Structure 1
């Protein structure tokens, strides 16, 4: 029935701070959509951003996100890039289980302490 994820939503304290972090740390593209909302696009997916209470149907809290993102980069290059952008790695590289097989991952926190995992399939 379901083929893939189109987008996810992160609830953040400051959209501009979040946009800056993800553009810098993960080289994502900032885009605007409906009524001036902001999102981060990468490949064929996006992360929509909202502030607390902006979307009354959503009960997510600031910092409640936990995302695993797949990269085509070598994980050593990912680590080097994150370090060059002063992003503190909180765990990894470590081996984990991804949706379709074994992955190697590094973990870090975004400005709202959402846990971000960047992974390579082995």
Structure 2
């Protein structure tokens, strides 16, 4: 009955720091839509942005910054992403490690966004 994920919503406590992380570190494109709404766009997906205390309705029952654990598949080799993230002042907190992805084995590193959400960036692991 479900084909794919269209978007998800991220709640942030610091809009400017969040925008910087998702655009500069992860390379997503910031897009404005609707009446003052923003989203991070990548591939055929997006992450809608809510600022704590100014969420759009309807919203999750308890929207809070720092409650997400997200995994992204990189468009570049993982080593290139690691160098880029470190050049942006980000600390890799774990990895590279092997994990099980939705469709294939992945090789991943973990870092945190400004709201302390856990961000996993991965590449397809060689068989």
TM-score of Structure 1 vs Structure 2, range by shorter chain = over 0.9
CA distance in structure 2 between the partners assigned to 1:104 and 1:30 by the alignment: 27
Deviation of 1:12 after TM superposition, in Å, equals 0.4
Q: Which residue in 1 is equivalent to 2:98?
A: 95
Aligned residues: 122
Question: Which secondary structure does the structure 1 equivalent of 2:17 belong to?
Answer: helix
- Could you state the TM-score of these two structures normalised by the residue count of structure 1? 0.94
Q: Which residue in 2 is equivalent to 1:77?
A: 80
Gaps of 5+ in 2: none
Question: Is structure 2 residue 108 aligned with structure 1 residue 116?
Answer: no
Deviates most, 90-99 or 9-18: 9-18
Question: Which secondary structure does the structure 1 equivalent of 2:21 belong to?
Answer: helix
CA distance in structure 2 between the partners assigned to 1:67 and 1:60 by the alignment: 16
RMSD of aligned alpha carbons: 1.1
Q: Which residue in 2 is equivalent to 1:35?
A: 35
Deviation of 1:108 after TM superposition, in Å, equals 0.3
Q: Which residue in 1 is equivalent to 2:25?
A: 25
Question: Which secondary structure does the structure 1 equivalent of 2:93 belong to?
Answer: strand
Question: Which secondary structure does the structure 2 equivalent of 1:116 belong to?
Answer: strand
- Could you state the TM-score of these two structures normalised by the residue count of structure 2? 0.91
CA distance in structure 2 between the partners assigned to 1:73 and 1:11 by the alignment: 27
